């Protein structure tokens, strides 16, 4: 059985569900699971949470304002601005599991097309012959007075490197998620098979570190998504033994992180002499007792020049937004000595909303309510951020 819900849907829906499966579903925190009679439960989306969960034979999908492809893009871009729009599949069906699996398979196939990447791996072993360099301290500590075997350290050129470990683990995990079309699952398993011999990652351990370089350039798009898959997709079992698969994200965090990173990238091009800071820390009062922390502040010559605050909220029916957000940005402008601040909201342009300037009475301060349409394709998301950065710089002159 499949249940489809809209993001932040207030009433949810009622389903028949066993107690153990209900407990497992509640633990994922995609939906609130509320009793609604014997063996029946009301599922209400947790505020700003989107994604998909499968518990036993029940699939629950909470659809975001944006497409799942755009959500994947915002997640990837916030972590690494090198994650470009065309790297994310725009699945027609907009099914989360299919979008993840199809995109990872496509990027991994491109990464492995010229063969499996190899690199130098440092090994520490006990050998009968000297190879590399001897670890004298270890030799004395473990084999005092013995000549053989030797404790040595050497570099081996092989495929068992961080990049391949991450990619193999992500392909394997993505192949296990529910509701994947058979063709996509087969592609993922085939690609994972090409990395046989690469060491599996230790469950629960931090992902191995890798650094972008010319050598791994063809791997980088696949690695960005692979890391996202490993961090976001959870596979487990319920207390009753039912399989549980989950991909759940907090859209408020995703949106704010994406806006911060995208503004930083745009302003670096448009205002190269400036510096853009996320989660900028300052004080509201002269005694430095009341902390403020705007999402984005652009600095010029060491002084605040622009201030932005990102809010993933729905507007009211009359087209307005919570007034507390306007108060907040007004306070930021006052404390930072700025004449204009920007409230960046999600999901409004699709309904015809346009930027609105609010002049605060008896002041020279403008608060600009700037809606972004998150329902558009990823390339348009970046274009909208560029438009915002351009308008903000012009308004600050």
**What whole-number distance in Å separates Cα of residue 212 and Cα of residue 220?**
7
**Predicted local confidence at residue 307, as pLDDT:** 96
Burial of residue 358 (CB within 10 Å: 0-12, 13-18, 19+) is middle
**Predicted local confidence at residue 14, as pLDDT:** 92
Query: To the nearest whole percent, how much of the chain has pLDDT over 90?
Result: 40
pLDDT band at 182 (very low <50, low <70, confident <90, very high): confident
DSSP string, 163-197: HHHHHHHHHHHHHTSTT--HHHHHHHHHHHHTTTT
What CA–CA distances, in Å, run from 181 to 95, 177, 186, 319?
Answer: 11, 10, 9, 41
Structure tokens at 212: 């972008």
* Start-end of H helices in the chain: 19-28, 68-79, 96-112, 136-142, 162-175, 182-193, 220-232, 251-270, 323-336, 378-396
Q: What is the mean pLDDT of residues 381-393?
A: 93
The structure tokens 């502040």 sit at 297
Average pLDDT, rounded, for the chain: 85
Q: What is the mean pLDDT of residues 84-98?
A: 66
What CA–CA distances, in Å, run from 271 to 30, 53, 305, 372?
Answer: 40, 43, 11, 22
**Predicted local confidence at residue 317, as pLDDT:** 43
**What whole-number distance in Å separates Cα of residue 249 and Cα of residue 28?**
11
Q: Which residues contact 40 (CB under 8 A, 6 or more apart)?
A: 14, 15, 16, 17
pLDDT band at 316 (very low <50, low <70, confident <90, very high): very low
Q: What is the DSSP letter of 299?
A: E
Taking 80 as the threshold, does the pLDDT of residue 154 lie above it?
A: no
Q: What is the mean pLDDT of residues 101-113?
A: 91
**What whole-number distance in Å separates Cα of residue 6 and Cα of residue 329?**
30
pLDDT band at 134 (very low <50, low <70, confident <90, very high): confident
Residue extents of the structural domains in the chain? 119-158, 252-396
pTM: 0.79
CATH class belonging to 252-396: alpha beta
Q: Convert 63-78 to b/e letters by CB count within 10 Å (16 or more is b).
A: bbbbbbbbbbbbbbbb
Q: Which residues contact 282 (CB under 8 A, 6 or more apart)?
A: 291, 292, 293, 294, 304, 335, 336
């Amino acid at each position: 059985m499949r249940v489809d819900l809209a993001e932040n849907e207030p009433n949810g829906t009622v389903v028949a569900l066993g107690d153990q499966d209900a407990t497992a579903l509640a633990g994922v925190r995609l939906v609130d699971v509320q009793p609604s009679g014997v063996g029946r439960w009301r599922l209400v989306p947790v505020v700003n949470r989107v994604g998909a969960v499968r518990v036993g034979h029940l699939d629950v999908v909470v659809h975001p304002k944006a497409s799942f492809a755009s959500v994947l893009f915002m997640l990837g871009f916030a972590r690494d601005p090198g994650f470009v729009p065309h790297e994310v599949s725009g699945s027609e069906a907009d099914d989360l599991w299919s979008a993840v699996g199809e995109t990872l398979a496509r990027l991994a196939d491109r990464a492995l097309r010229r063969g499996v990447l190899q690199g130098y791996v440092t090994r520490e072993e006990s050998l009968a012959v000297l190879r590399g360099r001897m670890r004298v301290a270890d030799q004395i500590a473990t084999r005092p007075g013995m000549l053989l075997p030797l404790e040595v350290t050497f570099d081996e050129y092989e495929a068992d490197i961080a990049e391949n470990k991450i990619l193999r683990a992500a392909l394997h995990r993505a192949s296990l998620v529910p509701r994947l079309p058979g063709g996509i699952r087969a592609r993922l398993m085939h690609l994972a098979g090409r990395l046989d011999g690469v060491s599996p990652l230790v469950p629960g351990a931090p992902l191995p570190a890798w650094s972008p370089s010319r050598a791994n350039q063809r791997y980088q798009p696949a690695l960005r998504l692979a890391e996202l898959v490993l961090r976001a997709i959870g596979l487990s079992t319920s207390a009753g033994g039912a399989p549980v698969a989950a991909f759940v994200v907090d859209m408020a965090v995703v949106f704010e992180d994406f806006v911060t990173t995208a503004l930083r990238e745009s302003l670096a091009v448009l205002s190269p002499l400036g510096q853009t800071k996320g989660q900028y820390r300052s004080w509201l009062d002269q005694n430095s007792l009341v902390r403020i922390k705007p999402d984005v502040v652009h600095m010029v010559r060491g002084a605040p020049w622009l201030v932005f605050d990102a809010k993933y909220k729905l507007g009211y029916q009359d087209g307005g937004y919570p007034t507390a957000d306007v108060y907040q940005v007004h306070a930021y402008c006052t404390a930072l000595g700025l004449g204009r601040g920007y409230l960046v909201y999600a999901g409004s342009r699709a309904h015809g909303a346009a930027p609105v300037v609010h002049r605060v009475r008896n002041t020279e301060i403008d608060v600009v309510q700037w809606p972004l349409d998150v329902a558009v394709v990823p390339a348009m998301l970046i274009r909208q951020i560029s438009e915002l950065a351009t308008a903000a710089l012009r308004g600050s002159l």
